[in-house]
């Protein structure tokens, strides 16, 4: 049966475009009113289509975000304890989270999503664990804070994968939650009810709805299995994200509890597959790298936060040796920049291995090209966005894309592939990004989002109010 004709709603011509198979010349892209690409045609004449101001790239999915923490970034860079660590940082983060309101969350998230768009992200996976009011009681609308995030994404114009977080215990073995975790706590039945209530709102703005069991220390085994079965019954393709093996203490505590390492335990007790995103996973043994990669799950890497918190280095080379998929996120938002996450990931591998250009591959000697294509593919999979076997600028995909500024001093006079390399490794990153589209709609023009100033002012006010309440 022939598909019905759908009219062309938008078009763009790029002299150079990074397609799933690599770089192509003279590419004409056309999309329909829903923002789906109808044609991606190399070797075309531009016709009347607008011209991209530089090389065209697929938009980068951000596969891990805690939006409220953007207002907290930079405020913990002092030694609070004689031995400062992730765990002391977490205590400070809980203090800050205690004062977030629905209004402040929406303002913070709106600015963050504007920042993400200006920095090359076209979608975000929001790992959302702040559910209740400051007393730990449900709001009159139990989905109040989820709706705040949905509104923020819609206002900014970023694609959203909303992942409400299941959080029940403070440690392995069913330890009772701490008082400062009261805003996070939901029963499994309550979480599944929340997902049912959010389904129509998410669908209305074409957001993807999934589930995030916070971690093995926060979700007991029976609850984890019940929640996975429940979300699967609601939506068989829904993404499932989990923090796993982030810290050495987490690994040690898991072994003390179960006799197994976290990733090992997860793979032995839960049906992990390609819907899953294993966030961080910085502490794995070779057998865990091999077994986890075989499931098809995506490794969710957040190099700037993993460095900021002293998590550790993911062995990306070993993961790729097992054909593992991966993507990048900004997590606590110490850095909000897609290109910088790629740079930091590569630099971490260089420091660990004392080599250069570690993440190049046989198909792409340029590291930036190889990493961009892999991160887009893995990020799209983790986000549950329209992958269709290929991620990026291909027919059937969403027209999420960005154009570099060919006149930027760091890029000018170079060929397209070297422009991308200079963008990632030798520019101020976001300064070299000129334009960005989400579903074919221009969201960044000449490096700026239309709501930049307005959203920034609201963010500053929300941050000041939150700090004052502490």
Higher pLDDT, 391 or 446: 446
pLDDT at residue 55 above 90? yes
Assess contact for 116 and 333: CB atoms under 8 A. no
Which residue has 């079965």 as its token pair?
Answer: 229
pLDDT of residue 243: 98
d(CA 444, CA 147): 24
Which residue has 């953007």 as its token pair?
Answer: 70
Assess contact for 38 and 30: CB atoms under 8 A. yes
d(CA 431, CA 54): 13
The model's pTM is 0.97
Assess contact for 51 and 393: CB atoms under 8 A. no
pLDDT at residue 343 above 70? yes
Q: Could you tell me the pLDDT band of residue 387, with boundaries at 50, 70 and 90?
A: low
pLDDT of residue 6: 60
pLDDT of residue 428: 87
pLDDT at residue 1 above 60? no
Tokens of 54: 């530089």
pLDDT at residue 449 above 90? yes
Q: Which residues lie closer than 8 Å to 92 by C-beta, 6 or more apart? A: 75, 76, 80
Give me the domains of the chain, ranges plus CATH numbers. 10-58+399-449 (2.30.40.10), 60-383 (3.20.20.140)
pLDDT at residue 39 above 90? yes
pLDDT of residue 108: 98
pLDDT of residue 470: 79
pLDDT at residue 393 above 80? yes
Q: Report the percent of the chain where pLDDT is more than 90.
A: 92
Please give the average per-residue pLDDT across 215-225, as a whole number: 98
d(CA 380, CA 186): 28
pLDDT at residue 195 above 90? yes
pLDDT of residue 81: 76
Q: Report the percent of the chain where pLDDT is more than 70.
A: 97
Instruction: State pLDDT tens for residues 310-342.
Output: 999 999 999 999 999 999 999 999 999 999 999
Helix H, strand E, coil C: the string for 333-392 is CCCCCHHHHHHHHHHHHHHHHCCCCCCCCCCCCCHHHHHHHHHHHHHHHHHCCCCCCCCC
pLDDT of residue 2: 35
Reference 276, options 302, 303, 243; nearest CA is: 243
Assess contact for 326 and 375: CB atoms under 8 A. yes
Q: Which residues are catalytic?
A: 280, 331
Cα torsion 378, 379, 383, 385: sign: negative
Q: What is the DSSP string of 28-43?
A: EEEE-TTSBEEEEETT
pLDDT at residue 4 above 50? no
Instruction: State pLDDT tens for residues 10-36.
Output: 999 999 999 999 999 999 999 999 999
pLDDT of residue 273: 97
Which residue has 């989400």 as its token pair?
Answer: 438
pLDDT of residue 388: 47
pLDDT at residue 115 above 60? yes
Assess contact for 89 and 74: CB atoms under 8 A. no
219 three-state secondary structure: coil
Q: Could you tell me the pLDDT band of residue 389, with boundaries at 50, 70 and 90?
A: low
pLDDT of residue 390: 64
Average pLDDT, whole number, for the chain? Answer: 95
pLDDT of residue 385: 84
pLDDT at residue 282 above 90? yes
pLDDT at residue 121 above 70? yes
Q: What is the DSSP string of 147-179?
A: HHHHHHHHHHT-EEEEEEEE---SBTTTBPPPG
Which residue has 């011509």 as its token pair?
Answer: 13
d(CA 64, CA 436): 20
């Amino acid at each position: 049966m022939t598909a019905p004709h759908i009219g062309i709603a938008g078009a763009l011509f790029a002299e150079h475009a990074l397609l799933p198979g690599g770089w192509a010349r003279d590419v004409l892209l056309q999309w329909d009113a829903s923002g789906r690409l109808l044609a991606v045609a190399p070797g075309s004449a531009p016709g009347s289509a607008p011209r991209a101001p530089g090389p065209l790239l697929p938009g980068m999915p951000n596969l891990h975000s805690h939006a409220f923490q953007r207002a907290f970034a930079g405020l913990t860079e002092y030694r609070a304890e004689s031995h400062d660590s992730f765990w002391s940082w977490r205590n400070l983060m809980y203090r800050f989270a205690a004062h977030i309101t629905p209004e402040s969350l929406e303002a913070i998230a709106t600015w963050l999503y504007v920042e993400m768009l200006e920095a090359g992200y076209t979608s975000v996976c929001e790992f959302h664990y702040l559910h209740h009011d400051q007393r730990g009681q449900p709001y009159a609308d139990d989905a109040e804070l989820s709706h705040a995030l949905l509104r923020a994404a819609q206002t900014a114009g970023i694609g959203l994968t909303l992942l409400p977080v299941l959080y029940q215990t403070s440690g392995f073995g069913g330890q009772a939650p701490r008082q400062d975790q009261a805003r996070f706590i939901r029963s499994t039945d309550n979480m599944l009810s929340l997902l049912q209530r959010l389904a129509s709102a998410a669908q209305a703005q074409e957001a993807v709805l999934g589930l995030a069991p916070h971690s093995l220390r926060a979700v007991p085994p029976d609850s984890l299995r019940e929640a996975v079965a429940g979300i699967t019954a609601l939506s068989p393709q829904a993404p499932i994200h989990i923090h796993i093996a982030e810290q050495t203490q987490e690994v040690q505590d898991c072994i003390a509890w179960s006799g197994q390492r976290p990733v090992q335990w997860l793979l032995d007790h839960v049906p992990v597959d390609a819907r899953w995103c294993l966030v961080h996973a910085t502490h794995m043994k070779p057998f865990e790298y091999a077994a986890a990669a075989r499931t098809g799950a995506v490794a969710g890497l957040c190099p700037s936060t993993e460095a900021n918190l002293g998590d550790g280095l993911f062995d990306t080379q070993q993961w790729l040796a097992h054909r593992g998929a991966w993507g990048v996120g900004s997590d606590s938002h110490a850095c909000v920049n897609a290109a910088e996450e790629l740079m930091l990931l590569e630099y971490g591998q260089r420091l660990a291995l004392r080599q250069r250009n570690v993440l190049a591959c046989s198909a792409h000697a340029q590291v930036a090209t190889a990493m961009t294509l892999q991160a887009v593919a893995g990020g799209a999979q983790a986000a549950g966005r329209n992958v269709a076997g290929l991620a990026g600028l291909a027919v059937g995909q969403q027209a999420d894309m960005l154009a570099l500024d060919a006149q930027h001093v760091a890029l000018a006079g170079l060929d397209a592939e070297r422009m991308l390399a200079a963008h990632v490794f030798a520019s101020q990153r976001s300064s070299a990004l000129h334009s960005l589209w989400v579903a074919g709609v221009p969201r960044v023009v000449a490096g700026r989002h239309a709501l930049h100033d307005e959203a920034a002012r609201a963010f500053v006010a929300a941050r000041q109010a939150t700090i004052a309440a502490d």
